[in-house]
Structure 1
Amino acid sequence: MYILECANGLYYTGSTNDIERRLSEHQNGEGANFTKKNLPVKLVYFEEFNRIDEAYYREKQIQNWSHKKKKALIESKPQNLHDLAICQNKSHFRNRE
């Protein structure tokens, strides 16, 4: 599972069994449409798994995270992940009071 930072500052999360090949594909405009439109990209984070289905599961988990939460993961700030996972909408705060 890997995270790329695109030229527009946004993150792209994917999974592969060959990170070097996949990164090359992204850089050459042969990857996902999102990265193709936001070149160049750079690899900023990756995790290794024994099975591709585990990597795919982790990819889907992280894809649903906010930009700030992904950044905390990339910057190895696990203490921030919990706080960033807490719902920040108004109804959540009303229900906590």
Structure 2
Amino acid sequence: MGTLVGFACCNVLTALSSSYPLTFVARLVAGVMGRTLWAMLVGYAARMVPAERRGRPIALVPAGITFALSRKCPRSPHRPKSSARARPSPYWPC
């Protein structure tokens, strides 16, 4: 729970910061905490299934994360859905 709270606090600090060094450090710490959260998901997935069936969730969680990030999902909520000038972009496949 502390990692999640720390991640949220670092993101709030980043949003409110007007100093580049402070923003850099806050993003660095948020990245470390975010990566820790992603790593913890594998353990949670493994505990959700019986011991003899743990291999599949241990393999699927990191694969799913990698696939979603490579497809740039979830889509940014600030990206316009459509506009007159917007062309379809291969960088936003979701």
Q: Same fold (TM over 0.5)?
A: no
Q: 1 or 2, which has the higher strand percentage?
A: 1
Using the size of structure 2 for normalisation, the TM-score is 0.27
Q: Report the TM-score, using the length of structure 1 for normalisation.
A: 0.26
- The structure whose Rg is larger is 2
